A and B are shown apart, each in its own frame.
Chain A
Amino acid sequence: MGRLLLVTRLAVRDLRRRPAEAVLLLLAILAATSTLTLGLVLRDAASDPYRQTREATHGPDVVVFADLAAVAEVVRDPAIVATGGPYPVVASRLDSSGRTSDVQVIGRDAEAAAVDQPAVVAGAWVSDGGAVLEAAFADALGVRPGDQVTLGGRSFRVAGTAVTAAMAPYPAVTCLVDEGCLHGAVPEDRSLPEGLLRNPGLVWVTRADARGLTAETDSSRYVVSARLADPEQTRAFVDRHLDGAPVPVGMVSWPEIRDEATELARDSQILLMIGAWLLGLLATASLAVLVGGRMADQTRRVGLLKAVGGTPGLVAAVLLAEYLLVALIAAAAGLTIGTLAAPLLAEPGAGLLGTAGTPSLTVTTAGVVTAVALGVAVLATTVPALRAARTSTVGALADTPRPPRRIGWLIRISARMPVPLLLALRVTARRPRRALLAVAAIAVTVSGIYVALILDGFLTGDAMVAGYTGFQVAALRRVLLVWTVILLCLTAVNAVVITWATVLDNRRSSALARALGATPGDVSAALGTAQVLPALGGAILGVFPCGYLLFAAIMRATGGDGDRATPPSFPQLAIVVAGTVLVVGALTAVPARLGGRRPVTEALRD
């Protein structure tokens, strides 16, 4: 009890002693936990709404579409226990206050069907003259119940909007009509077959109204929603009919629909997970630097704790406690932020039931996020904490600064260089571990930028062909932007922190260098260069091999087709590397300048 109080007190007081650093620690972990929460919440959210929608609408196991005779033939299969339809399907065009879209119109009964009855989310179900729009489609068009629209030149009132489990929400719809459909953005100059539907939306009207939309006496196309005796056999059912079908039929099974319906959410989630891992790595690197600096500062404190009878275990506990405390706060805050932000990124799923606001926190997510936050803290803290706990009490009390590890050859070659470069190399050689961490932090960020560039290039160029619509591309790019911005901010903060730690660490030797004749300018330049050199190394490593390997790993993990992605061009990469060096140089200029200008006597005194 008493020890717990002491450990907590020491942890809290030490954090309060340097609040700016405490905030930095918090932000570093918070960025990772928020992103991770977003990713996990979206994963949980991805398949759940489809399941709910399927239950609420008595969704089919398989959707069959063909001409009436072929459909009737399939329906005779004894594996089918219940059906909805056949319903006529007509290709048409919808106009609503200036916006036009191709649509597939399904003629339905006013009464509810036993299988596949779309669930009305606003307004009412179809009636003569009253059309119901698929919810995601209505959302994209900005149409609401009560609005007037034109279908194939005839005026309709929008009776309502509804969701269905028989088709993925707009824009990922199944193409039911004979004319064929085209998904994704269409190059302007491409010549396309006549009558092809572009990103068609889904509209339900009454059977009578559907008949009225087609010039032919009767629709040639029908759709049936069927339930099988054994839903597990859906795959086999589909294979059997598609393989040996004497007449061409279209068929979609519910797992396919589910995968389509949740594709955007899953893609967003994958992107977020990539971001979360990068941020986690970066957080570990930043933390290790911050903690290393703080621990060096704690030597006397450690000696004192030991002198008054603290065991090595207690000393380690005191040192770890602060960071675990910060990690716990960051985990809680990250879970809150991630959960609150998730609906913003999950919003394109308006076509499924309960999507808006559904992303919710599960115990697993909370556990994983907390574990990662604590893991980052432990990873970054354990080595210095154990080292501190094991130092000799007397040495620690005397606060003989941890003799910096000096790299002999580095110091030897530096002797022939201009003064700032010489000093910079010596600064780097004094704390090789920190320099390595600086390299690692920059490498993580640059490899993140590398991947972001590929994905962004893919999303703006190839994705259109790959079947994403502008709407989806916007959603995915937003996700990408979110974590890229967080990554960049964190890196910037990190660079400043590392420089500042270096400045503090080198105040004596800087003062000494000046006492021996170096100018403040030399010292500032040296401190700046000591940051820029690792940044350059990190940027180059971040491009190759880190960025390259990271992308390959992502492609492996997601089963993605990396072949279609073009790696960033050489000029792009050159800009990234040069930009990194420039930005780090600019960011570290201020602390480095301050470090070079402290009065010599003052610096030598403490």
Chain B
Amino acid sequence: MTVVLSARDLRRHYGGGERAVDGVDLDVMAGETVAVMGPSGCGKSTLLHLLGGLDRPSGGRIELHGRRIDNLGEKALARLRRTGIGFVFQSFHLLDELTAVENVEMPALLAGRSPRAARRRATELLDRVGLAGRAGALPSQLSGGQRQRVAVARALSNEPAVVLADEPTGNLDSAATLDVLRLFGSLHEAGQTLVIVTHDARIAATADRLLSMRDGVLIDETRLTGGTSGRLGSLVRLED
């Protein structure tokens, strides 16, 4: 198995002495789904931001396909975000004034694809997330679950090496959560590499590996091979 994304001694310290991420080592294999769990404020989002090139580490190194990305310039980082990485956020972060399909095609247009090719790809992706009929809808006309599916479609736009999702179901009711869950399941089956930060045991249960985080470090790793166990239940109880 090849390593897609790896971090060594990754650190992110804030001005006030806050060590949000404090020496994380991580390898994400191709086609693998990794879930990260941990109490609020333990540094999960910060870790994901570092891995996705949204934030810069204070120390350590990150490699994507064996190429260092922690020392890239602004422009190269932007290129990386639009081609190598797909991001899904808890609060969707769609542009309110663009329709679903326009939101989805944005990364493709940014990557310099022709408007026609970008539109074709976006339509395909909306179909894949089950929203073919809502291409022309504005985010305000979509339910939370639908918005998050649009956001997932957008993250997939440029066939990223890895999709990073930060509590993708955190703002959703349970029906919508199931929808998104199923979507991630199908992405996993299709061989997409995924890193998902979540509070939701059901999402965590679909993962190949479950990482627990505390105070900026990964404290535990559980390899899940099918079905959930009592262990997972205890992990879930760790957080409140």
Asked if B143 is at the interface (CB within 8 A of a chain A CB), the reply is no
Q: A311 to B75, alpha carbons, bound, how many Å?
A: 5
Residue tally, chain A, CB below 8 Å to B: 28
Asked whether, in the complex, the Cβ of A3 is within 8 Å of the Cβ of B109, the reply is yes
The stretch of B110-118, B179-187, B191-199, B200-208 that contacts the partner chain = B110-118
The minimal Cβ–Cβ distance linking A20 to chain B, given in whole angstroms, is 15
Q: A9-B98, A16-B97 are in contact. Are A394 and B74 (CB under 8 A)?
A: no
Which chain A residues lie closer than 8 Å to B36 at the CB level?
A: none
Which chain A residues lie closer than 8 Å to B102 at the CB level?
A: 9
Q: A3 to B115, alpha carbons, bound, how many Å?
A: 9
Asked whether, in the complex, the Cβ of B89 is within 8 Å of the Cβ of A397, the reply is yes
Asked if B134 is at the interface (CB within 8 A of a chain A CB), the reply is no
Q: Chain A, 386-425, contact with B by CB distance < 8 Å: what is the 0/1 string?
A: 0000001110010000000000000000000000000000
Which chain B residues lie closer than 8 Å to A300 at the CB level?
A: 93
Which chain A residues lie closer than 8 Å to B79 at the CB level?
A: 309, 311
Asked if A308 is at the interface (CB within 8 A of a chain B CB), the reply is yes
Asked whether, in the complex, the Cβ of B54 is within 8 Å of the Cβ of A394, the reply is yes
Name the CB-closest residue of A to B154: A308
Asked if A489 is at the interface (CB within 8 A of a chain B CB), the reply is no
Q: A191 to B167, alpha carbons, bound, how many Å?
A: 95
Asked if B55 is at the interface (CB within 8 A of a chain A CB), the reply is yes
The stretch of B1-9, B21-29, B80-88, B219-227 that contacts the partner chain = B80-88
Q: A345 to B120, alpha carbons, bound, how many Å?
A: 56
Asked if A301 is at the interface (CB within 8 A of a chain B CB), the reply is yes
The minimal Cβ–Cβ distance linking A224 to chain B, given in whole angstroms, is 75
Asked if A152 is at the interface (CB within 8 A of a chain B CB), the reply is no
Name the CB-closest residue of B to A16: B97
Asked if A426 is at the interface (CB within 8 A of a chain B CB), the reply is no
Asked if A559 is at the interface (CB within 8 A of a chain B CB), the reply is no
Which chain B residues lie closer than 8 Å to A306 at the CB level?
A: 54, 78, 81
Asked if B95 is at the interface (CB within 8 A of a chain A CB), the reply is yes
Asked if B19 is at the interface (CB within 8 A of a chain A CB), the reply is no
Asked if B108 is at the interface (CB within 8 A of a chain A CB), the reply is yes
Asked whether, in the complex, the Cβ of A307 is within 8 Å of the Cβ of B74, the reply is no
Which chain A residues lie closer than 8 Å to B54 at the CB level?
A: 306-307, 393-394, 397
Asked if A6 is at the interface (CB within 8 A of a chain B CB), the reply is yes
Q: A13 to B106, alpha carbons, bound, how many Å?
A: 14
Asked if B31 is at the interface (CB within 8 A of a chain A CB), the reply is no
Q: A5 to B110, alpha carbons, bound, how many Å?
A: 10
Which residues 290-304 in A have Cβ within 8 Å of B in the complex?
A: 300-301, 303-304
Which chain A residues lie closer than 8 Å to B87 at the CB level?
A: 307-308
Asked whether, in the complex, the Cβ of A6 is within 8 Å of the Cβ of B97, the reply is no
The minimal Cβ–Cβ distance linking B145 to chain A, given in whole angstroms, is 20
Asked if B107 is at the interface (CB within 8 A of a chain A CB), the reply is yes
Which chain A residues lie closer than 8 Å to B93 at the CB level?
A: 300, 303-304, 307, 397
Which chain A residues lie closer than 8 Å to B107 at the CB level?
A: 308-309
Asked whether, in the complex, the Cβ of A394 is within 8 Å of the Cβ of B82, the reply is no
Which chain B residues lie closer than 8 Å to A301 at the CB level?
A: 95
Instruction: From B94, B97, B108, name the one whose CB has the most chain A CB atoms within 10 angstroms.
Output: B97
Asked whether, in the complex, the Cβ of A312 is within 8 Å of the Cβ of B74, the reply is yes
The minimal Cβ–Cβ distance linking A4 to chain B, given in whole angstroms, is 9
* Given A3-B112, A14-B97, A307-B52, 19 more pairs with CB closer than 8 A: A2-B112, A2-B113, A2-B114, A2-B115, A2-B118, A6-B110, A9-B102, A10-B95, A304-B94, A308-B110, A309-B78, A309-B82, A309-B83, A309-B158, A310-B82, A310-B110, A392-B55, A394-B54, A394-B55
9 contacts between A and B (CB under 8 A): A9-B98, A10-B97, A17-B97, A307-B93, A308-B82, A308-B106, A308-B154, A310-B110, A393-B49
Q: Which residues of B contact A (CB under 8 A)?
A: 49, 52, 54-55, 74-75, 78-83, 87, 89, 93-98, 102, 106-115, 118, 154, 158
Q: Which residues of A contact B (CB under 8 A)?
A: 1-3, 5-6, 9-10, 13-14, 16-17, 300-301, 303-304, 306-314, 392-394, 397
> Top 4 closest A-B pairs, CB basis?
A309-B82, A13-B97, A2-B109, A311-B78
